[in-house]
Amino acid sequence: MKTSHIINAAQAIQQAILNNESTLESLDREIGDGDHFINMKRGANTIVEMQAELATLTPDAALNKIGMKLLSTIGGASGPLLASFFMSMGKTLKENGDDSQLKIAAAFAAGVQAIIQRGKADIGEKTMLDVLIPVSNQLVLLAAQNCETQKICTSLTSVAEAGMLSTKNLIATKGRAAGLGERAIGHIDPGAKSCQLMVEAVCKRILLEA
C-alpha cells in the first residue's frame, strides 16, 4: 500500500458520496436524523482537502491522521466510529507492515473490529456493520487465498451490495432507527448504504490503478 492509494481512494469516495446525495438524504429522512449525508460529505471533503499533508506521510501515519481529523469533523455517531476505524487500521499497519494483501486485509479487519467495540453493535442490527463485517471477512478470506485483485474487488463489491440490501428487512436495534421498531422494516439503513458506496468506489479505483 502507498499513501497515494489512500488519497486516490478518498477522492473516489468523495465523488461517490456527492453523486448519491438524494439517495442518502432520502434514506436518512425515513429512519435517521436527517443529517447523514451532510456528515459524510463533510468528512469526505475534509480528507480530500488534507491530501497535500497526507502525501508526506507513510500509509499508517496518514490513516491515523485521517482518523484524528474525522473525530473532530464529523458529527453524530458516524464521526467516532469512522475515526476508530482509520486509527485502528493505521495502528495495525504500523505494527505489521503494509506490504501484502493479507496485512492490508488484517488492518481493515482491525478497523471494523474497532467499530464493533466502539458502537457495541454487530451484524444483523441494521447498521453500517451489515456491510463492513461481511466485506472484512471476505477480504481476509480472499487475501489468504492470494486471489487476484480483479477477483477480490469484484467479490467485495457484490458482498457490500448484498449486505446493504439485507438491512431493508431488519429491525434496527441501534441508533435513532431503534426507536421505530418494526416501522424501520422496509427501509435500507443509510449508514449501510454509504458504506456500500464507499466500498464500491474504492474497488473501482483500485481496478483502474491495477
How confident is the model at residue 53, as a pLDDT? 95
Domain count, the chain: 1
Low-confidence ranges of the chain (pLDDT < 70): 31, 75-76, 174-184, 210
Q: Residue 109: exposed, middle, or buried by beta-carbon count in 10 A (0-12, 13-18, 19+)?
A: buried
| Contact (Cβ atoms closer than 8 angstroms) between residue 159 and residue 140 | no
Per-residue model confidence as pLDDT tens digits over 80-138 = 899 999 999 999 999 999 889 999 999 999 999 999 999 889 999 999 999 999 999 99
Residues of the domain holding 55: 3-209
CATH value at residue 135: 1.25.40.340
Cell numbers linked to 43:
468528512
